[in-house]
Chain A
C-alpha cells in the first residue's frame, strides 16, 4: 500500500480550465511538498505546506491535516502547465527524506 496516493494519474484538459490534483496520505507528516517535473525531467519545488493554504501566481495549494489530504489547483490553465505534478510528504518521527506519490501527468491542450 502506497503511503501517498494521488489522483487522477492522468489528466487532459483544455486551455483555461480550472485544474485540481488531489493527494491523500496515510502517515503522520511534518510537511507536504508539491513538485513539478517538466517533460525534460527537471524537478522543481512548487510548495511546501504544513497547514492551511499557499498561493503562487495561478497555483494554489491547500492541506487538511485532520483529513490527511492536500489539493493543488491551477487557475486559467495554459499549455506550459503541462507536466507531471508530484505530491511528497516528510514523515514525522525523524525520517528526513521525502515519500512520494506516483505523480499526476497533466496535459493542457490549446
Chain B
C-alpha cells in the first residue's frame, strides 16, 4: 500500500531553470492538491485538481503550472524557478467518494532550494 508519494524528496536548482515535482497516489482519489509551506506563512494552496484534466488555481499559483492527464499523477512544474519559490512542497489527495470535504492525505514533501 504505497499511498501517496512525492519525488524528488530534495532538490537544489538554479534561478531560471525549469523544475518538475512529481506526485503519485495509489488510491484513485478524485481530488489532488499542491501546497507550499514557508516560515511565517504556513501552508498555502498552489493548485488543485478535481479529476483528470480538471485543474484550478489556489491562493498562490503564479510561476507554477500543473497537469493531470492520469488520475494517479499530479505533477507541479516551476517554469522558470525563482529564489522566492524556495520552499517545502506538499502534495495531498482526498475523496474516495469524490467529495472534496473528505480527509486529505499528505505526501512526505519535497524540499526545494533555488539558488
B45 in contact with A98 (CB, 8 Å): yes
Stretch among B11-19, B20-28, B67-75, B104-112 lining the A interface: B104-112
A100 in contact with B44 (CB, 8 Å): yes
Residues of B within 8 A of A86 (CB): 42-43
Are A45 and B48 CB-contacts (below 8 A) given A88-B43, A96-B31, A97-B58?
no
Total number of residue pairs linking A and B with CB closer than 8 Å: 57
The distance from the CB of A10 to the nearest CB of chain B, in whole angstroms, is 14
Q: How far is the CA of A101 from the CA of B58 in the complex (A)?
A: 16
Q: How far is the CA of A100 from the CA of B33 in the complex (A)?
A: 14
Q: Which residue of A lies closest to B56 (CB)?
A: A96
Residues of A within 8 A of B108 (CB): 41-42
Say whether B50 faces chain A, with CB atoms less than 8 Å apart: yes
The distance from the CB of B111 to the nearest CB of chain A, in whole angstroms, is 8
Main secondary structure of the interface of B (DSSP, over half): strand
Q: How far is the CA of A102 from the CA of B109 in the complex (A)?
A: 17
Task: Please count how many residues in chain B sit with their CB below 8 Å of the partner chain's CB atoms.
Answer: 26
A99 in contact with B109 (CB, 8 Å): no
Say whether B102 faces chain A, with CB atoms less than 8 Å apart: yes
Q: Which residue of A lies closest to B57 (CB)?
A: A97
The distance from the CB of A6 to the nearest CB of chain B, in whole angstroms, is 9
Residues of A within 8 A of B101 (CB): 30-31, 48, 50, 90
Say whether A43 faces chain B, with CB atoms less than 8 Å apart: yes
A sample of 20 inter-chain contacts (CB < 8 A) reads: A41-B108, A41-B109, A42-B106, A43-B92, A43-B109, A44-B106, A45-B104, A50-B101, A86-B42, A86-B43, A90-B101, A96-B33, A96-B48, A96-B100, A97-B58, A98-B43, A98-B104, A100-B43, A100-B44, A102-B40
The 3 closest A-B pairs by CB, nearest first: A97-B45, A43-B106, A102-B42
- B-side residues, CB < 8 A to A, are 31, 33, 35, 40-45, 48, 50, 56, 58-59, 88, 90, 92, 100-106, 108-109
| Beyond A43-B106, A43-B109, A50-B101, 7 extra complex contacts between A and B, CB < 8 Å | A33-B104, A43-B90, A88-B43, A96-B31, A96-B33, A96-B100, A100-B44
